[in-house]
Amino acid sequence: MSSSTSQMPAIMPHQTMQGHTKEVRGVVHLPGERQIITCSWDGSLRLWDLENGTQIGKKWRDGNDALWSMALSPNGKIIATGSGSGDLTLWDVETRKLIAKWTGHTWGVGALCWSADGELASGCWNGTARI
């Protein structure tokens, strides 16, 4: 009996983006664009051009807290990030400015998800979820 994985072609990266100084913890693809945004334990968000693999503009951040998760809003205009200290931050994708910041989780926010109507759910490493 042969394994089906032995017959699968190798997956090769199209681009490799370099710039974060610590682990990349989240990636979102901007709708209708050839761009992605990444978040990292280095505390920064970065916008990347998928055609040439280069960073677009400067990194953006709110302090030095590690970013553990991210999610793009259904309309593609807002990024939510979850930090290691339990903060949730909303960012305007176009201006890269902080819109809002919430605290409340007691540990790191490891999961984020937007509903189709724009509600944000978050999951924390202590076993709690919030909407």
**What is the C-alpha to C-alpha distance for residues 30 and 61, in angstroms, rounded to an integer?**
19
The predicted model scores a pTM of: 0.85
pLDDT digits (tens, 9 = 90+) for 10-22: 888 777 888 899 9
Length of the chain: 131
- For the ranges 7-11, 29-33, 36-40, 59-63, the lowest mean pLDDT is seen at 7-11
Could you give the domains of the chain?
21-130 (2.130.10.10)
CB 15, CB 53: distance < 8 Å: yes
Q: Which one, of 58, 61, 38, 40, lies nearest residue 50 by Cα? A: 38
Which pLDDT score, from 0 to 100, does residue 4 have? 57
**What is the C-alpha to C-alpha distance for residues 47 and 9, in angstroms, rounded to an integer?**
30
| Structural tokens at position 114 | 């937007």
